[in-house]
Amino acid sequence: MAAANGPIAMREALTLTSLGIAPQFITFTHVTMESDRYICVRETSPQGNSLVMIDMAMPSQPLRKPLTVDSALMNPSTRILAIKAKIPGTTQDHLQIFNIEAHTKIKAHQMPEQVVFWKWITPKLLGLVTQASVYHWSIEGDSKPIKMFDRTANLANNQIINYRCDPSEKWLLLIGNAPGAPERPQLVKGNMQLFSVDQQRTEALEAHAASFATFKVPGNVNSSTLICFASKASNAETITSKLQIIELGAQPGKPGFLNKKNGIFFPPDFQDDFPVAIQISQKYGHVYVITKLGLLFVYDLETARGVYIYRISPDPIILTAESSTTGGFYAINRRGQVLHATVNNATAVRIFPTQS
């Protein structure tokens, strides 16, 4: 266990290669982890393609099925599998949802356009992202995907890396990466689209990673909805990195959250590094900012003050997932390590500076 004496304890929960998964399949396009319960890996070979499903409660007993798909997502909370495959000779995708335990198909749909990214945004709802728009597809009933909003121009030619909704499903968030400037190609540009379902309004922002959180402001019986987003931008010779925490949909006449921001201070050897994920610990009131090259920045949700910085992995991070029961998170790196970060309460102290 690394950093056992620091505020964050790291342990290796699993190594994908130990399950017979080849290194070439440990990539963002082959591995999915929708929650701390399951991992899916697509394997391809001339001998045949397969899908590996790993239950984190018994990781040494993966389920491997011969299956050819373009993407597979295990439901965050139940043994339900969503798969998509391109229909040969078309730009359309065939989407299917299965109950693995019951060996039954729950529903299927043929999308008239390619789904470039998809994600379980709740245990009952899939978010589908096409080149032009974003749809929601419920696993209940016989409903078809419903269009929620069109993508903004700032996300054109971006690789979509995440899609999220807040607990009320009133705020939707799409995140993408675009190629970096010619002088700094490794520092990709982060773009974000925030959409209000109630107001039917959208806002384009610069950010590499983001997440929603809730916070109880003293004197207000209702929780505030917050968005936490991290950005790193290069302007000529100047690089600006920051975390912002902003309340969404402030409640008239009631105490609100005072918006906060803080710098993200990258060490000299990490100038081309950038945030790839934000996970929220509602249990401890922490914001975890995880970077491509394996740095972890921990901030206090209420104040945006820095709590801790540590390198959790020498290999690039490809995926993260919340660990709601422990108040930590999981991260998968390019080597195939599944890392579990948890909080050491006894040693949690602030050790890096604040920038207003």
Tens-digit pLDDT profile for residues 163-200: 999 999 999 999 999 998 888 888 899 999 999 999 99
Q: What is the pLDDT of residue 324?
A: 84
The answer to whether domain 165-311 has CATH 2.130.10.110 is yes
Q: CA angle, corner 199, sides to 193 and 200, nearest 5?
A: 55
pLDDT number for residue 190: 96
- pLDDT (mean) for 30-46: 96
pLDDT at 89: 85
109-126 pLDDT per residue, tens: 999 999 999 999 999 999
Task: For 2-42, give the DSSP string.
Answer: BTTTSSEEEEEEEEGGGGT--GGG-STTTEE-SSSSEEEEE
Which run of H or of E encompasses 330? Answer: strand 328-333
Q: Which is nearest to 201 in space by CA: 276, 148, 246?
A: 148
pLDDT tens sequence across 202-256: 999 999 999 999 999 999 999 999 999 999 998 777 889 999 999 999 888 899 9
Over residues 87-111, the mean pLDDT reads: 93
**Alpha carbons 318 and 295: distance in angstroms, whole number:** 13
Q: What's the confidence (pLDDT) of residue 252?
A: 87
pLDDT at 156: 94
pLDDT in tens, 300-316: 999 999 988 999 999 99
- Whether the predicted pLDDT of 3 surpasses 50: no
Residue ranges of domains in the chain: 165-311
pLDDT at 346: 62
Average pLDDT of 92-98?
96
Going by C-alpha positions, the residue among 339, 345, 349 that lies closest to residue 319 is 339
What digits encode the pLDDT tens for the residues 253-303?
899 999 999 999 999 999 999 999 999 999 999 999 999 999 999 999 999
Work out the pLDDT band at 355, boundaries 50, 70, 90: very low
Residue 180 · residue 158 · CB < 8 Å: no
Q: What is the average pLDDT value for the chain, to the nearest integer? A: 92
pLDDT for residue 7 is more than 90? no
pLDDT at residue 353 in the model: 45
